[in-house]
Amino acid sequence: MKNEKTANRFFSLGIIVIIIILTSITGCGPVNPKNINYFKGSDGLVFDFIANYPPYEMYQNTSVIVQAKVHNKGAFNLYDENFYGLLFLNTNKNFIETGEEEETIKQILLKGKSTDFPEGESQTYYMGAIKSKEIGQFESLPTEISLTACYPYRTYFADTVCIDYSEVSGDERMQVCRTHDITAEDQGAPVAVKEVKVNMIPYGTDSSDGKTVYKIKPQFIITIENIGSGNVAKSIYKISDLSLLPPPPNPLSMNEGERAENVKDVAVIEYDVTEICSMISNPPEDYFDYVLVRAKLGNFSLECEPQIVKLKDNEGKIRCSMNEKDMFKGVSNYNSLLIIALDYTYIDTVSSQIKIIRS
């Protein structure tokens, strides 16, 4: 009997030891790093008032503090003197007084989603104190307080495109790839490339080197859309000097250093962010819904028509193709990288109601 009890104890102990060993083995095994695509989502800057700053109710002739939390949930960095955001606090001045301009307008410098900041950077901003005024003989008076963010942003789209000679060569044998249209959802920014229609225009053959090669000129019909909650406005780039714009860098290979290089675009920047954002209240005619489009196929810059597209019902279409001189010459199909960059200013507003109570 005693032996049986001892055997049972040993059996239980053995089971526990086995579980511990198995757990240790599986838990300490090599973990494969996940390859995260940061170019996902439809957000740029996401912002709102912090709860109770301001509160929903306040008495007349009293002051409360306003704070806002801003989060760069997109995949573009707002981090230097050319690319930064602005956050404005607006109130109904008839009933709410705000502090000085330094308090009610804040510069936003936040990095977007990347390996360094997988969720994107976020920060809380103090927007100053607001003071309610007298509301006369009313028991209470609701009024609005709002935050407006204005920031330059860029959408990167990158995908492989098949350079397909089949149509010219008539070669129906198995190839590495075939041309097909691309559809996409979002790219980590409020304006997205939704569709790319690929067309390989045949340009005949070339036998000048004694060997017959086929000539094609790829053409892309690109559909873009404002999928965010705000409004698109024209970019900070100088429109008259579009030819000086460099082709978009490859976002997939960009590290921190390359991102800094990216700022060489400064050569053609026309507007300061503050300048372009100050046009919000009284915008010129060519302000809203304009997006600058640049595209690159392999090492070739593409010519886009129009290069600055005006969105209609939040949607726009652009045709990008290689210029007259450039064309692809070859025999066999292969994949090449298509990069599209969309530049624009994005404006978004959030509002909150405050009830001013007389006493």
Partner 1 sequence: MAGVNPEEWKNIKNILNRMDIEGIGAKSKNAMGKHFLEQGIKSHEEAMKHLRSEEFRNSQLNNRIKNRVEDHMEKQRANESREQQFLEKREAALREKEEMRENSFRKKIQNQLKSAEDMPGPLKFYINLWSWLDVVGDPAIGLIPVWGDIISFGINFIISLFCVLPYIGLFHWLAVLGILIFDLIVGLIPGVGDILDLIFPGAMASRLYIVKQWENIKKRKQENIMKKGYLGYGKKRKSFSPKNVLIVLIILFIIIVPFARGFNVIAWVLTGEYKEDLDNFFGRTTAESEEIVKDTGLFQRVIDAWKRSWAMTEGDYYTGKVEDTEDEPIGLEIEEIRAIEDFYTTDSKATLWADIHGKTFVDNITVITTCEANKAGKKEKISGKTSPESYTVVYEDTHSVKCEFEENSLEKGYYNVEFNAFFNFETWAYIKYYFVSRETYQSLYYKDINQQLDIPEKSVSVSTPGPVILGLTAKNINQPIYIDPEEDYLPVPFGVTLENNWKSAGSEIKQVDYFIVQVPSELELVDCDRAGPNNEYMEDWGNQDMDLNRMDENYRFYKFENPYFGKEGYSFSSMTCFLKLKGYTEEQKEASMEKLLDQGQKAEKTFVVRVKYKYNLQESETINIKEPFGSE
- Residues of this chain that bind partner 1 (CB under 8 A): 88, 90, 92-95, 105, 133, 136-141, 143-144, 146, 148, 229-231, 278, 280-285, 287-289, 313-314, 347, 349-351
3-state secondary structure of 23: helix
CB of 349 to partner 1, least distance (A): 6
**Calpha distance 78→178 (Å, rounded):** 38
Residue with smaller CB distance to partner 1, 100 or 139: 139
Residue with smaller CB distance to partner 1, 95 or 156: 95
Residue with smaller CB distance to partner 1, 84 or 214: 84
CB of 88 to partner 1, least distance (A): 6
**Calpha distance 8→1 (Å, rounded):** 11
Residue with smaller CB distance to partner 1, 107 or 212: 107
CB of 142 to partner 1, least distance (A): 8
Residue with smaller CB distance to partner 1, 149 or 292: 149
Residue 321, strand partner residues: 219, 303
CB of 126 to partner 1, least distance (A): 18
> For the purposes of burial, counting CB atoms within 10 Å of the CB of 153, is it exposed (0-12), middle (13-18) or buried (19 or more)?
buried
Residue with smaller CB distance to partner 1, 85 or 230: 230
Taking a C-beta distance cutoff of 8 angstroms, is the pair 237, 291 a contact? no
CA distances from 265 to 27, 249, 269 (A): 48, 11, 7
Residue with smaller CB distance to partner 1, 39 or 346: 346
CB of 305 to partner 1, least distance (A): 23
CB of 273 to partner 1, least distance (A): 14
CB of 193 to partner 1, least distance (A): 20
> For the purposes of burial, counting CB atoms within 10 Å of the CB of 22, is it exposed (0-12), middle (13-18) or buried (19 or more)?
exposed
CB of 227 to partner 1, least distance (A): 13
**Using CA of residue 226, residue 232, residue 237, residue 239, what is the dihedral sign?**
positive
- For the chain, what is the radius of gyration of the CA atoms? 29
Hey, what are 282's tokens?
């009284």
Taking a C-beta distance cutoff of 8 angstroms, is the pair 120, 340 a contact? no
**Calpha distance 335→327 (Å, rounded):** 15
Residue with smaller CB distance to partner 1, 26 or 282: 282
Q: Residue 161 contacts by C-beta under 8 Å, 6 or more apart in sequence?
A: 179, 182, 196, 198, 218, 220, 297, 335, 336, 337, 338
